[in-house]
Amino acid sequence: MRALVTVASRHYATLEIGEVVAETIRANVIECDLIAPEVVTPVSAYHLVIVGSAIYTALSLPDARV
């Protein structure tokens, strides 16, 4: 199984949460990549994709929007 964690973060606090999520996944013997949303390529190689974002004025950051 292979997982992707991608997190849009303005001041790095949300990124730190993404790092903890990725490390937790890896601790369970699952291959996990942590990649910034602006450089994510097609996700067909992943079985699991987790998208996180900081929220400002009820909206996620533009990099996290699909």
pLDDT, tens digit (0-9, with 9 covering 90-100), for 17-44: 999 999 999 999 999 999 999 999 999 9
Predicted local confidence at residue 35, as pLDDT? 97
- What are the CA-CA distances from residue 48 to residues 2, 12, 22, 31 (Å)? 7, 23, 12, 10
Buried b (16+ CB within 10 A) or exposed e, 16-25: eebeebbeeb
Q: Which tokens belong to 15?
A: 């990124």
The percentage of the chain sitting over the pLDDT mark of 90, rounded to a whole number, equals 89
Tell me, what DSSP letter sits at residue 45? Answer: T
Average pLDDT over residues 48-55: 96
Helix, strand counts (H, E) of the chain: 1, 5
